[in-house]
Amino acid sequence: MGSVAKKRTGKINIRELTDEDMEAALAIDKKINGKERAMTYKDPMNFYLGGELSMSFVAEVDGKIVGFAVARLRDPDTGWLQAVGIDPEYRHQGIGAKLVEAVVARCRSKGAKTVHTVASWRDWWMLSFLNSVGFSRGEMVDLQKTL
């Protein structure tokens, strides 16, 4: 008989991501995606984050990092939400929404007028989540050429 995962609960603390948090954030990313994507980069901190750390946040429950939101300013008017990851054991508790709220508030405080992100049309879970936190289809369309 299979075991049912126990829903984790506790006080959620949202704070700025620091250099010391990167290992925990990458571990959550690997848990979600099943591979060490970011670890293949020469400098994952700068490449993956792409800018000022004060735009990125982690979520903690009982002192344990359980989620992250990686963001940067693309230009003075535009924030860019690069990645959101929540440990599967801590989903459906509003943690992702709180992280996105922190990113949006920080972007607004820096003068940004919009926050952009991308998601695969096949990733219905992420699209649903992004819609639930106020994102909608923008003016830009992603184009690609398969080689």
pLDDT at 40: 35
Mean pLDDT of 62-74: 93
- Model pLDDT for residues 6-35, shown as the tens digit of each residue: 556 689 999 999 989 989 999 998 898 876
pLDDT at 5: 47
pLDDT at 144: 86
Q: Which residues contact 135 (CB under 8 A, 6 or more apart)?
A: 115, 117
Mean pLDDT across the chain, nearest whole number?
84
> Which residue did the predictor score with more confidence, 31 or 42?
31
Rounded to whole angstroms, what are the CA distances from 119 to 11, 43, 88?
29, 24, 19
Q: Domain-by-domain residue ranges, the chain?
A: 12-132
Mean pLDDT of 88-94: 94
Among 3.90.1010.10, 3.40.50.10800, 3.40.630.30, 3.40.50.300, what is the CATH number of 12-132?
3.40.630.30
Mean pLDDT of 59-73: 94
Length of the chain: 147
- Model pLDDT for residues 113-133, shown as the tens digit of each residue: 999 999 888 889 899 999 999
pLDDT for 41 beyond 80: no
Strand (E) or helix (H) holding 27: helix 22-33
Percent of the chain past pLDDT 90, that is, above it, reads 58
